[in-house]
Structures are given as structure tokens and as C-alpha cells.
Amino acid sequence: MILAQTPTLADFGQDVWWIVLIKILGAFVFGVVMTLLGVWFERRVVAFMQTRPGPNQAGPLGLLQTLADGLKMAFKEDIIPRGANRFVFLIAPAISVVCALTALSVIPFGPMVSMFGHQTPLQVTDVPVAVLVLLAVSAISVYGVVLGGWGSGSPYPLLGGLRASAQLISYEVALGLSFVTVFIMAGTMSTSEIVAAQANNPQLTLGGFTVSVPGWYVLLLLPTFVLFAISIVGETNRAPFDLPESESELVAGFMTEYSTLRFALFMLAEYVHMVVASSVITTLFLGGWRAPWPITAFWEGANTGWWPLLWFMGKVVAILFVFVWLRGTLPRMRYDHFMKLGWKVLIPLGLVWLVLLAGVRVIQVSDLSTGQRVAFGGGLAVVLALVVLLWPQRKQPPRMSVAEQVAARPPGSFPVPPLDLQVPPSPRARREVAGKREASAAEPIDGEVVGATSAGPESSTETRSDGAGREGDEGRG
């Protein structure tokens, strides 16, 4: 069997300078090209979901449409608001793009390959804390959004920037908890070594039978994958979590005052973040650049040479499709529901799952008998069950009636419409009802006519005034 030469930390830092430049340029080209194709891919997929053609005029299948849009932005008028902080306004898009592209430097695209006669890892660099580098870069990238909103000198961009900062703080915690569970399983924070750890298929003993299970963490750490996937969508500001740029509330959010190439840079940063998020999911949960099982079953050399780059890109494109699928399917969440999901659901679940997984790992690595392991696991399950059952429930306050709500208003409050959702009758309906009542009162009863017709004008005037008075009374009622 042909084994892929998996790079280690000792293999990095040994390349000549021009090999390093080639790999840096390759990572940059990968991010930009995937962005151009990602925009086209998203527009075509969403058009297919909405039963319309999508871009199909510029180039074959509309592939050059994104390039045409970029050229159009380059020739548009450059507008800077009068109240904007010019330096901050100009530097904010560059911060977002640079941070997004920097994250690609620690992503492993493949194993050791031969590049112009030199053996080198298909990765720009790797460090023992590479995943923490990803977290740091993603945290710094929000400065571009916040500074762009603040430097515009406009209320809507400022609100979008504040939303972006709150969103990052809320979902960065859940994202970090997901990373910790991966560290516990892999025993390392190096991205290349995490990929290597998923190549080992663990042996599971059930009822005396030993079963080999796949080593991808999407299966071994399924709760972690779900938490990470939800958090990374919120981290990248993608629908249904695109609240910093919600057009229904903030016009365009932090990008409201931007135009020309600076708007294109923000758009580029968003799609590069989406590509980076897909690459991180592939690296941490889908085995990285290694081919999936059906391919490795009949092709021993699938994980050697430059072929792993193809498997890596295929997984990235599959995750990008999920991003597009979410945008075309789910509506935008309300902001308070979005923050509640991050603080009250994802973070508590992440903490519980982290404690549970840590206990399981302690049982696995400790020198305990089978009975002691079963007792420890059963005790942990009982404790969790008791916590869930005995957790105090918040009591709902008694519901006040409409009259009580009106009476509880502080003095000097503005008048409010009725809270019982009963629409009062219109004045026209009141007049029609009054007319019908007068007509029914004028009908003959037992041969007699109610109301003297020979009465003078004073009587008719008095009758009209009485009807008008009744109508006014009904209106006031």
C-alpha cells in the first residue's frame, strides 16, 4: 500500500526563499480565484433554487460575470462622505482582506510534494499553535468591519459595526469551545498534525467484537461539528446570520457609504472568509486533504503527489454549497434571537459537551478496569441526568389583562391603540346603521305611520338633530 508522506513540524522552515514565495502566491491565488468562482457559483445555485437562469451572458455559462462586475466597480465614481474619518475609512477594507488571506497560510492543502526538484509540504507554514493563529486572525478581521462602520460617519454603518463586534464576541466563545474538543482528540493544535490524526482509524470494541471506525472527526465528534458549523456561519456574517449588513434594517450595514474598489474589497473579504471557513472545516473534521473512503478503497495512490489538492478543493466546494444553500433557504434571524442562540444555547451546550468528552478521554487513557470504567461513565451520566431534571425552571409571570395593562401605564404616557385587536366600526358604517334605524322607525305599524309627516320644519329639524346626536353618542362610545 502506498502511504502519503505526511508533513511534520520539522519539515517547515527548510524551504528556499523562492519556494516560499511560490507557496505564498499560490495561497493568494487560491483565495482570489475561489472568491471569483464562489460569487458565480452562489448566483447560479440560488438562481437554480429560484427557477431562473442566473448569470449566463458574460463568458461560457456566465463565468466572466464576476470579473465584469469587478471591472465595473473599478470605473465607478469614488465617493467619500464629508463627515468620514478619511484614514480609517480607507484602511478598513484592507484590514478585512489582509486578515482573511492571512488565515490561508496555515491551511494544509496536501502532503509532501515535489516542486521543481525540492520536497516541500503543500502548505505555507505550520506552527504548534496553528489553530490559535486562525482564531487570532479571525478576531482581528472584525476590526475592518468595526472601523469601516465607525469611520463612515453615518448612523447605519456605525450600528452595523457594533453588531459585528457583538456578533464576534458572542460566537467566538462557542467557536473556541469547539476547537478545544478537537485538541483533546488530536492531542495537538497543529493543523498538519490534526489532519494526520484523522488518518488513524480507531478500534472500537462492542460486545467482544472489534470494529474499525473512520477517523474523521465529523463522525467521532458530531456534536462538536454541529456547534462549530453554526458558530462559523455566525462568524462569517453569512445568512441567516448576516445581521451587520441587513438591508431591511440598516440599508447595507457597515458597507452603506462604500463604493468602487473599497466596496469590492469588503465583498472579497466576505467570500475569502467563507472559503477559509470551508477550509478549516475540511481540515478539522473532514480529514483535510485525504481522499474519502470510496476512493482509497480501490486506489492506493490517491493520497500521494498532487492529487490530494483535488480532494481538498472538492470538500471545500461541497461546504461552500452548504453556505449557499443556507442563504437560499433560511430567512434572516431576529437580532435578539440570534444573540440568545449564541449565549444561552451554543455556549452551555459546548461546555457540557467539553466536560463529557474530557471525562471520556480520561477513562480511555487511565489504567482502569472495565468495571471501573463502566461505573465512572454511569455515574457521570447520572449526574448529567440529575442536573437536567433538577435545573430550576424560570417561572412565567402572570399574564395581565388588557385593562390591567392600560392601568399599569405610568402617568403621562402616550395613548396607544386598543390591545384586543378589535377594529372599531368606520364612520360610514355608523351612518348606514343610523339610516337603517330611521327607516325601520318610519315603517307603518297597524295602518299607522310612526312620525307625523305633516309636522313642520321644526319637527324634521328636531328629528335630524336627534339622529345626529345619537350618531355622535355612538361615535363617542
- So what's the pLDDT on residue 460? 44
Nearest-CA neighbor of 194 among 129, 139, 135? 129
| Residues 289, 195 contacting (CB under 8 angstroms) | yes
Q: Is 431 inside any structural domain? A: no
- Residue whose C-alpha is closest to residue 464's, from 436, 438, 433, 430: 438
* Residue 419 forms part of a structural domain: no
Q: How far apart are CA 126 and CA 195, in angstroms?
A: 12
Q: Report the greatest alpha carbon distance in the chain.
A: 121
Q: Mind giving me the DSSP string for 186-199? A: HS---HHHHHHHTT
Residue 193 falls within a domain, yes or no? yes
Give the residue from 160, 158, 162, 150 showing the smallest Cα distance to 85.
150
Rounded (5°) CA angle 84-269-224: 125
In a domain, 109, yes or no: yes
pLDDT tens digit sequence for 78-107: 888 888 888 888 898 999 899 989 999 999
For residues 40 and 320, is the Cβ–Cβ distance under 8 A? no
Residue type, 371: G
Q: Which residue has the cell 395581565?
A: 400
Neighbours of 420 (CB within 10 A): 8
Cell of residue 154, nine digits:
453615518
- With beta carbons less than 8 A apart as the criterion, state whether 110 and 309 touch: yes
Asked whether residue 410 is domain-assigned, the answer is no
Q: Tell me how far apart the alpha carbons of residues 290 and 269 are, in angstroms, rounded to a whole number.
A: 27
The reply to whether 40 falls in a domain is: yes
pLDDT at res. 207: 58
Contact call for residues 273 and 97 (beta carbons, < 8 A) = no
| Contact yes or no for 308/291 (Cβ under 8 A) | yes
Query: Which residues are CB-contacts of 354 (< 8 A; sequence separation ≥ 6)?
Result: 177, 180, 181, 184
Task: Evaluate whether residue 212 is within a structural domain.
Answer: yes
Q: How many domains does the chain contain in total?
A: 1
Per-residue pLDDT reduced to its tens digit, 168-195 = 888 888 999 999 999 998 989 999 999 9
Q: What does the pLDDT read at residue 418?
A: 60
Residue 359 lies in a domain: no
Task: Give the three-state DSSP class for 230.
Answer: helix
Q: Are 96 and 288 in contact (CB under 8 A)?
A: no
Provide the pLDDT for residue 457: 45
Cβ 224 vs Cβ 353: under 8 Å? yes
Residue 477 pLDDT: 40
Among the listed residues 132, 135, 158, the one whose alpha carbon sits nearest the alpha carbon of residue 145:
158
Q: What is the identity of the amino acid at 168?
A: L
**Domain containing 75: what range?**
9-333
> Residues in the chain with pLDDT < 70?
1-4, 203-209, 211-212, 246-252, 415-424, 443-477
